[in-house]
Amino acid sequence: MNKFFKGLLVLGGVLAVVVLAAAGGGYAASEKVIRAKLSIPAERIAIPTDSLSIERGKHFAIAVGKCVDCHGDDLGGAVIVDSPPMGRFAGANLTRGRGGIGAQLKDEDYVRAIRHGVARDGHKIVIMPSEAYNHLSPEDLGAIIAYVKQVPPVEREFIAPTFGPVARGLIATGKAPLFMADHIDHSKPAVAAPMAGPTAEYGKYLANAGGCTGCHGPTLSGGKIAQGDPSWPPAANLTPTGLKGYTEETFMKALRTGIRPSGVAINPVMPWKRAGEMTDDEIRAVWAYLQTVPPKEFGNH
């Protein structure tokens, strides 16, 4: 073997050791973030029992919270991400059926999980958008919990999260907020919602609690979704600059059909189907709010 190749081999060996050490460090660092537990004091939120509130809770759980996208239409749990680089994340079975946790959860456990992203044993819940739910009013949060508590039992085993190398790298370097519990001001109490109606003020409430801001960014100008799978397209610019071609009518149509005014389909990473289940007045409210946010170029937060 000539000197050149020997040199390369040695260099390769050194590099392999460096890479392995970095990966090992990343593993240890990510493991520390993943396993860290949080203790969030119990919060008392009134949970209604009347059928009108339960209906409202169901509507909010579907169209605003989109809980069903991760927990399944029957709330019995669903696999959300399953790719070796990222790992496997599945929404828990929230029912009282076998494999479900409904029978174990106390009212304050639901509040802690939804508003704070922290499970009943203190572990941080992966990819659940609790920073959005932190904006829910006590009334709407109570209604969602009332709904979840009374769904029929489903028998389905819970799949505990596993973390692939890409997810661990993102966690170790703090590049993706996979645990929203680390990005929430846990001391902030739940605030009452503005009066429901097709107003910009109520639209802002829906945009925050419904996760539009979570994916489209704090200024809604779009860009890479940090907490998303690396294969996801960037979120669109929802400021007046980005939605120039839209009217209230075509905005509503886009959310209901997944088709832009230009005729181009919206990628399903955008939960248009669920968002389209908002009432006409709720969609009008979000549209009214989007008209009031400062115009920004794409990805300008």
Residues binding ligand HEC (CB under 6 A): 61, 65-67, 69-71, 80, 89-92, 94, 101, 105, 109-110, 113-114, 119-120, 125-129, 133, 144, 148, 161, 207, 210-212, 214-216, 225, 232-233, 235-236, 238, 254, 260, 266-267, 269-271, 275, 286
Q: Are 274 and 62 in contact (CB under 8 A)?
A: yes
Pick the closer one to ligand HEC by CB: 23 or 295: 295
Tokens of 255: 């959310």
Q: Give 141's Cβ-side CA count (13 Å radius).
A: 28
* Cα distance from N-terminal residue to C-terminal residue, the chain: 55
Structure tokens at 55: 């209906």
Number of C-alpha atoms within 13 angstroms, CB side, residue 274?
22
CA distances from 283 to 63, 91, 129, 205, 277 (A): 10, 27, 20, 12, 9
> Quick one: 61 or 172, whose CB is closer to ligand HEC?
61
User: Shortest Cβ distance from residue 217 to ligand HEC (Å)?
Assistant: 10
In angstroms, give the least distance from the CB of 140 to ligand HEC.
10
Closest CA to 211 of 146, 272, 266, 291: 272
Q: Of 148 and 154, which CB lies nearer to ligand HEC in the complex structure?
A: 148
- Cβ of residue 40: shortest distance to ligand HEC, in angstroms? 11
Burial of 80 (0-12, 13-18, 19+ CB in 10 A): middle
- The answer to whether the CB of 213 falls within 8 A of the CB of 289 is no
- In whole angstroms, give the CA distance from residue 208 to residue 193: 11
- Indicate the residue among 184 and 236 with the shorter CB distance to ligand HEC: 236
| Residue 189: CB minimum distance to ligand HEC, A | 18
| Contacts (Cβ under 8 Å, ≥6 apart) of 198 | 281, 284, 285, 288
Closest distance of CB 18 from ligand HEC, Å: 32
Q: Which is nearer to ligand HEC, 71 or 169 (CB)?
A: 71
For residue 82, the one-letter residue type is D
Contact 167, 178 (CB under 8 A): yes
Q: How far is CA 293 from the centre of its chain?
A: 22
Using the minimum distance from each CB to ligand HEC, give the nearer residue, 76 or 129: 129
Q: Residue 237 CB, nearest distance to ligand HEC (Å)?
A: 7
Q: Which amino acid is at 285?
A: A
24 vs 233, beta carbon nearer ligand HEC: 233
Cβ distance to ligand HEC smaller for residue 70 or 172: 70
At its nearest, how many Å lie between ligand HEC and the CB of residue 188?
17
Question: CB of residue 191 vs ligand HEC: minimum separation in angstroms?
Answer: 17
